[in-house]
C-alpha cells in the first residue's frame, strides 16, 4: 500500500509523526515528509495508525 | 431499514446541559442515531458514527452547523459553514497562522506567562479558578496574538460566549445572546488594520487582504472566527483541567511525578468533559447508520461528549485516567473541519498543566458552579479553597 498525503490539507499537527516516526517526519519548516511511501507487513499497521490519527484527514492509504 | 428510534427529551433542557452524561449514555444505548422530535433533530451518539460523519462532508454538510436559520445565515461565507471545494480555500487562510509550525515561536512566551500566573495563584493560598486562570489566560494570549486592544479586549469574554450561545435553537438563551453576538458581528464588519496592534496576526490578515490573497472583506470574517471559536472553548477546557485535577488528586500526582504525561492528560481532560456539547450538520441525502435512516435534508446534531464516552471505543470510558492518552478523542472534531485552533489550544493548555505540575503540590476545590449553555459546556465558578505551593 502507498501512503498518500493531501498536501494543502496538512497543517503540520504532527500526530502522524508520533504514531509512525520511522515512516514520516515533519521537517524544519514543519512540512510533512513521507520517508517510506510504500508499506507492507508490520509497517502497514503503523501506517494505518498514522492515517487514522491525522486530525484533519490529510493522509490515506491507496493500492500501490 | 427500520423506523427511526426516538426519544422525547429536549437536548437543550437545563438539567441535561448541566450534566449531559446520563442522557448521553441512555441515547447511546438506544442507537447510534436517535431522532429527537422535540428538537426536530437527529443526534449521533456513538464514536464510530460521529467520526464517520465528520469525515464525510459530502453526506453531512456544514451549511447548517447552527440550530437556527438566523445563525446559519450569518455564518454564510465562513469556512465553518462551507463545504469543499469553497471550504478548502477559506480554511487555508484561516489556519495558516494557527498551524503548529506558525505557532512554534510563541511557545516560550506562552509557557512563561502560564508559569508566572500559576506561580502567583499557587502562592496565594486560595483563588477562584475561572476568572483568575481559565478566563484570564486565554483572553490575554488570544488578545496579544490577534492584536486586540482597548474595548475589544474588555468585550472578548461576553462576545465569545454569545457567539457560541446563538448557535443553539431559538430558545431564551439564544434570543438574549443575539444582540451581544451582533455587537461582535458589527465590530468585525467595520474593523480596520489600524484597530489591531502592529505586528499581530490580525494585522497580517489585513495585509493578506491588501495583497489580494483573500477576497475584500474576508479579513473581518476571519477575525470573527478567531474570537468566536477560540475563546469560550479554551476557557472551558482550562477550567476543566483545574476541576478534574482537584477532583482526582491521584491523577494530578501522576502528572506531577511524570511531566511527560502532560499531553496525554490534556487529551483525557478533553475526552472526559467535551467543551462543546453539540454541533450541527445537514444530511445531504438519506444516510443509513446501523439500520436507521437519517432523511435527506434533516438537521443532524453531533454529541461529541457521547462519542467520547462510548464503551465500544474506550475501555472504562467513565474513568478519568491521565495515562490513557486518547489521541483520537472527538472534542476537536475530525476531518476537513477539525478544530483549526487545536495547535494553539494545546500550547495554552499544556503550558497551564506544566505550570500546575511544577508550582502546585495539592489543590482542594469546591463544587463546580455551572449555568446551562446551548453549545459550550463550561464551569462558571470554581473555588480553589486551598492550594499548597510546590
Q: DSSP labels for B156-221?
A: HHHHHHHHHHTTS-SSHHHHHHHHHHHHHHHHHHH--GGGS-TTSHHHHHHHHHHTTSS-TTHHHH
Cα distances (Å, whole numbers) of residue B173 to B177, B203, B334, B371, B384: 6, 33, 28, 11, 29
Q: Which of B55, B95, B100 sits opposite A30 (nearest CB)?
A: B100
Average pLDDT over residues B351-375: 98
Decide if A37 touches B, using CB distance below 8 A. no
> Is the whole-model pTM more than 0.80?
yes
In which band, very low, low, confident or very high, does the pLDDT at B2 lie, cut at 50, 70 and 90?
low
**Burial class of residue B135, CB neighbours in 10 A (0-12, 13-18, 19+):** buried
| More confident call, B289 vs B151 | B289
pLDDT at B16: 98
pLDDT at B171: 97
What does the pLDDT look like over B338-355, one tens digit per residue? Answer: 999 999 999 999 999 999
* Cβ contact, residue pair B101, A30, below 8 Å: yes
Decide if B327 touches A, using CB distance below 8 A. yes
Pinpoint the alpha helices (H) of chain B.
14-18, 21-30, 47-54, 69-74, 86-95, 100-103, 107-123, 129, 136-146, 150-165, 172-190, 201-210, 218-230, 232-247, 249-257, 262-272, 304-308, 342-359
Q: Which of B88, B98, B338 sits opposite A55 (nearest CB)?
A: B338
Residue B183 in contact with residue B227, Cβ under 8 Å? no
3-state SS assignment for residue B42:
strand
What does the pLDDT look like over B38-74, one tens digit per residue? Answer: 999 999 999 999 999 999 999 999 999 999 999 999 9
Nearest CA in chain A to B88: A9
Q: Report the residue of A55, A59, A60 to disrupt the B interface, i.e. the one with the largest count of B CBs within 10 Å.
A: A55
What does the pLDDT look like over B80-98, one tens digit per residue? Answer: 999 988 888 788 878 888 8
CA–CA dist B187, B217 (Å, integer): 13
Residue A40 in contact with residue B320, Cβ under 8 Å? no
**d(CA A44, nearest CA chain B) in Å:** 19
In which band, very low, low, confident or very high, does the pLDDT at B7 lie, cut at 50, 70 and 90?
very high
CA–CA dist B379, B358 (Å, integer): 24
Residue B3 has pLDDT above 70, yes or no: no
What does the pLDDT look like over B112-166, one tens digit per residue? Answer: 999 999 999 999 999 999 999 999 999 999 999 999 988 888 999 999 999 999 9
Q: Which residues contact B195 (CB under 8 A, 6 or more apart)?
A: B149, B152
Cell 511544577, located at residue: B358
pLDDT at B204: 87
Residue B259 in contact with residue B354, Cβ under 8 Å? yes
Amino acid at each position: 500500500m502507498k501512503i498518500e498525503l493531501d498536501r494543502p490539507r496538512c497543517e503540520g499537527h504532527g500526530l502522524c509523526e508520533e504514531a509512525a516516526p520511522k515512516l514520516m517526519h515533519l521537517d524544519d519548516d514543519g512540512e510533512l515528509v513521507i520517508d517510506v511511501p510504500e508499506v507492507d507487513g508490520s509497517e502497514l499497521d503503523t501506517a494505518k495508525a498514522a492515517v487514522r490519527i491525522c486530525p484533519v484527514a490529510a493522509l490515506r492509504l491507496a493500492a500501490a | 431499514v427500520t423506523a427511526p428510534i426516538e426519544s422525547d427529551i429536549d437536548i437543550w433542557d437545563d438539567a441535561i446541559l448541566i450534566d449531559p452524561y446520563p442522557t448521553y449514555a441512555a441515547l447511546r444505548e438506544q442507537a447510534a442515531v436517535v431522532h429527537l422530535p422535540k428538537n426536530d433533530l437527529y443526534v449521533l451518539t456513538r464514536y464510530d458514527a460521529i467520526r464517520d460523519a465528520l469525515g464525510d462532508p459530502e453526506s453531512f454538510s456544514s451549511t447548517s452547523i447552527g440550530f437556527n436559520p438566523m445563525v446559519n445565515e450569518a455564518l454564510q461565507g465562513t469556512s465553518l459553514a462551507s463545504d469543499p471545494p469553497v471550504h478548502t480555500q477559506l480554511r487555508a487562510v484561516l489556519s495558516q497562522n494557527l498551524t503548529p509550525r506558525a505557532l512554534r515561536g510563541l511557545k516560550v512566551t506562552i509557557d512563561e506567562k502560564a508559569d508566572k500566573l500559576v506561580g502567583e495563584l499557587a502562592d496565594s493560598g486560595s483563588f477562584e479558578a475561572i476568572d483568575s486562570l481559565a478566563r484570564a489566560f486565554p483572553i490575554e494570549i488570544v488578545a496579544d496574538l490577534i492584536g486586540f486592544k482597548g474595548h475589544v479586549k474588555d468585550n472578548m469574554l461576553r462576545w465569545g460566549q454569545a457567539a457560541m450561545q446563538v448557535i443553539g435553537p431559538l430558545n431564551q438563551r439564544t434570543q438574549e445572546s443575539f444582540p451581544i453576538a451582533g455587537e461582535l458581528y458589527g465590530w468585525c464588519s467595520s474593523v480596520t488594520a489600524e484597530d489591531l496592534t502592529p505586528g499581530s496576526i490580525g494585522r497580517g490578515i489585513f495585509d493578506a487582504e491588501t495583497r489580494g490573497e483573500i477576497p475584500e472583506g474576508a479579513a473581518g470574517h476571519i477575525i470573527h472566527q478567531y474570537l468566536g471559536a477560540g475563546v469560550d472553548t479554551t476557557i472551558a477546557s482550562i477550567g476543566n483541567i483545574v476541576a478534574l485535577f482537584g477532583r482526582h488528586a491521584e491523577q494530578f500526582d501522576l502528572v506531577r511525578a511524570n511531566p511527560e504525561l502532560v499531553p496525554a492528560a490534556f487529551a483525557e481532560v478533553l475526552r472526559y468533559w467535551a467543551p462543546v456539547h453539540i454541533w450541527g450538520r445537514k444530511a445531504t441525502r438519506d444516510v443509513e447508520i446501523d439500520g436507521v435512516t437519517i432523511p435527506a435534508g434533516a438537521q443532524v446534531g453531533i454529541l461529541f461528549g457521547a462519542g467520547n464516552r462510548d464503551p465500544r471505543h474506550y475501555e472504562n470510558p467513565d474513568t478519568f485516567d491521565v495515562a490513557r492518552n486518547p489521541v483520537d478523542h472527538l472534542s476537536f472534531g475530525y476531518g476537513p473541519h477539525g478544530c483549526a485552533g487545536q495547535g494553539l489550544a494545546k500550547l495554552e493548555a499544556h503550558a497551564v498543566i506544566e505550570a500546575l505540575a511544577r508550582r502546585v503540590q495539592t489543590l482542594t476545590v469546591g463544587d463546580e458552579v455551572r449555568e446551562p449553555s446551548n453549545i459550550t459546556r463550561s464551569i462558571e465558578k470554581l473555588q480553589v479553597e486551598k492550594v499548597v505551593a510546590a
